[in-house]
Amino acid sequence: MTTTESTGTAAARTPISTRALTLAVVSLALGGFAIGTVEFAMMGLLKEVEHGLHLTTPQAGTLISAYALGVCVGAPLLAAFGARLPRKRLAIGLMVFYALANASSMLASSYGAMALSRFISGLPHGAYFGIAAVIAASLVPATKRGWAISMVMTGLTVANVIGVPFATWLGQNFGWQLLFALVSGIALLSAVAIILFVPFEPATPGASIRRELGALKRIQVWMALLTGMIGFGGFFATYTYISHTMTEVTHLPEVFIPLVVAIYGLGMVVGTLIGGRLADKSVMGAIYRALVLIAIALAVYFFAVQWAPTALLMVFVVGGIGSLLTTPLQTRLLDASPDAPSLASSLNHAALNVGNAIGAFLGGVVIALGFGYAAPALVGAVLALLGLAIALLSGRLERRFPVNPAPHHDVVQH
């Protein structure tokens, strides 16, 4: 297979300037900002949605699950069915889809309509991040792929610092529907920016649903997905119950919770950027280090939350350390499936949403058993170590049956 065939890009790309690269990456990251804002702000506005639609608390909680289910279903399906499309057009289509789907949530007037709307809204989530990562990686030399992917993922993490607090305030004071109006607007803005600033690439030669689904036959793809599902579950086990931990264990007033979430989000931004740099040096090395550090950080967090100063410090550290893992995993999936990058890359976000469900469920179990609100952090540490075991097994298998990284001929000068 030639380089052009495996990567699906033109063999001779016109060099892209630093300014053009920045505009392209920011355009893609803006889509991630929209996704991150609604995904996490929805949790903060759940009570408002519950009261506005006259739902029970369990019904309101299933709206979060409906979105996560949409991510898991949509990531492989949309990535596979969109394989024949030029990547730029697919990214634009997914953002327009996301805008319209969230607009429908704004108009929902019943539980059934809202649950269906949230499921549909989740469909393009994973596919968008997958194709955005592939586009970003194609714009830079192979030695900077991790950096480019991390910059796209930064849109998701910056949302936790800026988008989520603002959207939560907006929804609490002027109506929860404005969250979805805001996100729809940002998604459309991202689509316009992608039209203007992301270079066009023709459709991948020989691309097909069958070839994309071929990624699912590769053991290393599944090992990477399992690493994310299990290892990243610890991150979500802690994040899901962070407000309860801060108010019930650290004894912070509820008014400080937006600040806590912002500190956590700031840590995620820093961790995502560092994770990209580590992935450029060694993808598997970055995964190993991240999982070890996650286990240590969560264990320290369990003890540190007893006191406010150390609790706030560890909120930042856990947010940062946890986010070290996302970019290396994304890069690993691109390496493990060079001829079907869109599907493999998209599946990362489906896996992380499964990790979200696993972490939240197990964290809830230890709380229900009476171990306290800090206990999910210890569950998370164990999950990180299990993820490390899977990653080490993956590395051992690779030494016996090497994975050839995606050939990368689009080396451009900046």
Shortest CA distance to 133 belongs to which of 412, 408, 330?
330
Domain that holds residue 27: 16-207
In a domain, 7, yes or no: no
Examine residue 250 and state whether it is found in any structural domain, yes or no: yes
Angle at 156 between CA 152 and CA 161, to 5 degrees: 125
Shared domain check, 173 and 70? yes
CB 328 within 8 A of CB 345: no
Q: Give yes or no: residues 125 and 159 share one domain.
A: yes
195 and 131 in a common domain: yes
Helices and strands: H and E segment counts in the chain: 19, 0
What span, in angstroms and rounded, lies between the C-alpha atoms of 302 and 150?
28
Is 283 in contact with 147 (CB distance < 8 Å)?
no
Q: What is the pLDDT of residues 301-328, one digit of tens each?
A: 999 999 999 999 999 999 999 889 988 9
CATH number, position 112: 1.20.1250.20
In a domain, 11, yes or no: no
* Total-model pTM: 0.78
What is the pLDDT, as a whole number, of residue 37?
A: 93
- CA gyration radius, the chain: 20
Residue recorded with tokens 């900046």: 414
Q: Give residue 161's pLDDT.
A: 86
Q: Does a structural domain hold residue 412?
A: no
Answer yes or no: are the C-beta atoms of 31 and 92 closer than 8 Å: no
Q: Which of 203, 188, 199 is nearest to 24 (CA)?
A: 199
Which residues are CB-neighbours of 306 under 8 A, at least 6 positions away? 249, 250
Cβ-proximal residues to 289 (8 Å cutoff; 6+ apart), any chain: 278, 324
Query: Which DSSP helix (H) or strand (E) runs through 125?
Result: helix 111-138
**Within a domain: 356:** yes
Residue type, 3: T
SS3 at position 381? helix
Q: How many residues does the structure list for the chain?
A: 414
Tell me whether residue 411 is in a domain: no
Q: Please report where in the chains the tokens 């999950």 appear, as a residue.
A: 383
Structure tokens at 255: 């008014």
Chain centroid, CA 168 distance in Å? 20
355 phi and psi angles, rounded to 5 deg: -60, -40
Reading phi first (left if > 0) and then psi (alpha if -120 to 50, else beta), residue 54 is in left
Q: What is residue 232's three-state secondary structure?
A: coil
Distance CA 322, CA 380 (A): 10
Backbone angles phi, psi at 307, to 5 degrees: -125, 135
Q: Is residue 289 part of a domain?
A: yes
Dihedral Cα 12, 17, 19, 24, nearest 10 deg:
10
Residue with tokens 């979060």: 64
136 within a domain of the structure (yes/no): yes
Rounded to 10 degrees, the C-alpha dihedral 22/27/29/33 comes to 140
Q: Locate tokens 């949509």: which residue?
A: 74
H helices present in 139-176, as ranges:
145-158, 164-174
Q: Which of 158, 178, 207 is the last residue of a domain?
A: 207
Shared domain check, 266 and 180:
no
The candidate with the shortest Cα–Cα distance to 40, out of 376, 352, 265, is 265
Burial class (CB in 10 A: 0-12, 13-18, 19+), 138: buried
- The answer to whether residues 182 and 218 belong to one domain is no
Instruction: State the sign of the Cα–Cα–Cα–Cα dihedral 178, 181, 187, 190.
Output: negative
Residues 161 and 271 in one domain: no
Whether residues 238 and 338 share a domain: the answer is: yes
The CA distance from 231 to 295, in Å, is 9
For residue 263 the two structure tokens come to 């500190």
Instruction: Tell me the C-alpha distance between 35 and 235, whole Å.
Output: 19
For residues 341 and 6, is the Cβ–Cβ distance under 8 A?
A: no
Task: Clarify whether residues 148 and 239 are in a common domain.
Answer: no
Which pLDDT score, from 0 to 100, does residue 117 have?
96
Query: What pLDDT score was predicted for residue 192?
Result: 98
- State how many domains the chain has: 2
Same domain, 199 and 223: no
Same domain, 108 and 184: yes
Low-confidence ranges of the chain (pLDDT < 70): 1-15, 203-215, 401-414
Domain end (from 186, 207, 228): 207
Same domain, 299 and 379: yes
Query: Of 174, 207, 240, at which residue does a domain stop?
Result: 207
- 190 and 43, same structural domain? yes
